[in-house]
Amino acid sequence: MFKMLMLAVALLAAGASTSSAQVTGKWGLGGFISYTNPLFTFGDRFGSGIDKWGLTASYVSSSRVTMEAEYHHADMKDGALQTNEFSWSPKALTLKQYASEDLNSASEYSTRFNSVLISGLWFFNADRTMGEGSFSPYIVVGGGFYDHSTVADNIVWPGQSPNEAAAAGGGLDAVGDRFPAVVMNTQTDTRTAVTAALGFGLEAFLTPTIALDVRGRYHFILSELRPYDAWGLDKAFPLQMMDLSAGFKFYFWE
């Protein structure tokens, strides 16, 4: 990962000396939505989906290089503590499977990101223009801070006894076995974490001032989420994910 980032930085530095009067000095604003796919231990907790949007501000420093500042917000819901089953024994010699959301409709396990990122885009086309119909693929490399809050709220506790379940109001199923009803205290994992991102994209101009931007990126986030043994979830570290984004950029100023 480090070697790939160093290569991308070297490409950005090499391209910065190239200039083109047609594009250099342009400023722009943009917005995008993303399909995210958490990976590895982070992916064990949350599924993929269209759950991120963001805003960008861009400066074209040369025909080969654009610098970009980004803010994005992601909201991942229906996590593993809410939807996955755990084992619980309502009585001796009996073990049953339960999902928290089936027992308590207020169960929620979610993650929210509010993040800032500074990126460099190195374009493959040395003679890149902003003419209508022109396009250029690029490498994007960036770093920043991803602030996340992962909350487990009203999650049914697998460690309760049948007597505790009864005291909490747990009912009986069709064969007379008690339902677990005690919920855990709200648990929150939150951190503002250093992050690196690397990927590829394509910028295509629909008009001389409006561009379609599509990209795929890998995100490496130096943060962690606590383990939950009852659900078979190991500690998640680091948090890693891929995303596919599509949006528009509007270039107006020089």
What's the pLDDT tens digit per position in 209-219? 999 999 999 99
**Quick check: is 82 in a domain?**
yes
**pLDDT score of 243:** 98
Work out the average pLDDT over 184-196.
Answer: 98
Domain that holds residue 126: 27-253
**Quick check: is 159 in a domain?**
yes
Over residues 222-244, the pLDDT tens digits come to 999 999 999 999 999 999 999 99
Work out the average pLDDT over 190-218.
Answer: 97
Q: Give the burial class of 38: count Cβ atoms within 10 A of its Cβ; 0-12 exposed, 13-18 middle, 19 or more buried.
A: buried
Provide the 3-class DSSP secondary structure of residue 82.
Answer: helix
8 A C-beta contact, residue 239 and residue 224: yes
**pLDDT score of 7:** 47
**Quick check: is 42 in a domain?**
yes
What number of other Cβ atoms are within 10 A of residue 103's Cβ? 19
Work out the average pLDDT over 136-142.
Answer: 98
Work out the average pLDDT over 116-137.
Answer: 94
Work out the average pLDDT over 203-207.
Answer: 97
Tell me: pLDDT of 9 over 70.
no
Q: What is the number of domains present in the chain?
A: 1
Tell me: pLDDT of 12 over 70.
no
**pLDDT score of 206:** 97
Report the C-alpha gap between 5 and 120 in whole angstroms: 11
97: CATH:
2.40.160.20
8 A C-beta contact, residue 194 and residue 145: yes
Work out the average pLDDT over 114-127.
Answer: 96
Extract long-range pairs of 67-70: CB within 8 Å, 24+ residues apart: 67/118, 67/119, 67/120, 67/121, 68/118, 68/119, 68/120, 68/121, 68/140, 68/142, 69/116, 69/117, 69/118, 70/115, 70/116, 70/117, 70/118, 70/119, 70/142, 70/144
DSSP tag of 4: H
Greater model confidence, 253 or 140: 140
**pLDDT score of 209:** 94
Tell me: pLDDT of 6 over 70.
no
Q: Residue 252: pLDDT band by 50, 70, 90 thresholds?
A: confident
**pLDDT score of 254:** 67
**Quick check: is 15 in a domain?**
no
**pLDDT score of 1:** 52
**pLDDT score of 17:** 38
Percentage of the chain beyond pLDDT 90 is 87
**Quick check: is 9 in a domain?**
no
Tell me: pLDDT of 253 over 90.
no
Q: Residue 19: pLDDT band by 50, 70, 90 thresholds?
A: very low
**Quick check: is 183 in a domain?**
yes
Work out the average pLDDT over 114-140.
Answer: 95
**pLDDT score of 193:** 98
